[in-house]
Structure 1
C-alpha cells in the first residue's frame, strides 16, 4: 500500500473519531484542569468555604458580599509568587481579580477538607 493511501486512511479514521467525540461530548461539562492555577481553584471550590472573623465581620456589616468572594474564587488569578502552597498543615494561596472595575485580593488557607478565606482587600480603582 502506498504512503499516500495510508495517510488518507489515517486522516479518514481520525476525522470520524473527532465527529464521534463531538457528538458524545457535546453539552457535557468536560474540563481539562491540568494547569497549576486551574487545579488550585478547582480544589478550593470543591471544599466548604468558611470565612475568618475579620472577613465575616465585613460580610455582616455590608461592606462585602459573599457572592463577591465566590466570584473571585472562581474567576480570580492565583499569584504563586505571593502564595505558600507547601505550608503545613494547610497551604496558603493569594488570589487577585477584577470585580466591578476594582481589583480585589484574597488570602485563602486551603486545608484537606475546608478552605478558609483569611483576608479580603480592595485595591486601587482601575482607570477606564
Structure 2
C-alpha cells in the first residue's frame, strides 16, 4: 500500500477517534454537572463568572438607564465572545477584557471588565 493511502487511513482514524473521545468526555462531564471548558473564550468567561463582581459608577449609570439588565450581563458572561485583540492587557493592577454580547432585546453590547486575582470589576457597558 502506498504511503499516501496509509497516511489518509491514519488521519481518518485519528479524526474519528478524536471525535469519539470528545463526545464521550462531553457526555460524561454534562452528566455530572461539570462544564466542558478548554477553549480560550470559555476559560476566560468561566474565570470571570467565578469571582465576586463589583460594579463601577459608569456601569451603574448604564444599568440605571434600564436598557441593559444584570441578566443581560450574566448571559453575556455565559454566551458572549471575548475580543482577544483588545483584551488581556495590564490595566490598573489587573487585566482588562472586552466581552461582546447581546441584551434581551437582541441589541449588541460591549462589556468592559477588569479581572483582578480575587474579584472582577464591571467597568462599563456600551451599545454597539
TM exceeds 0.5?
yes
Aligned twin of 1:50: 54
Q: Distance in 2 between the 1:27 and 1:51 partners?
A: 34
- Tell me which structure has the larger Cα radius of gyration: 1
Identify the structure with the greater helix proportion. 2
TM-score normalised by structure 2 residue count: 0.69
Q: 5 Å matches for 1:24-63?
A: 27-63=31-67
TM-score normalised by structure 1 residue count: 0.69
**Where do 4+ consecutive residues of structure 1 move more than 4 Å?**
21-26
User: Gapped runs of 5+ residues in structure 2?
Assistant: 1-20
Counting matched residue pairs gives: 105
Q: Is 1:114 the counterpart of 2:119 in the alignment? A: yes
Deviation at 1:38, TM superposition (A): 1.1
Deviation by residue 1:98-120 (Cα, 9 ceiling, x = unmatched): 33221111111000111011110
Aligned twin of 1:84: 88
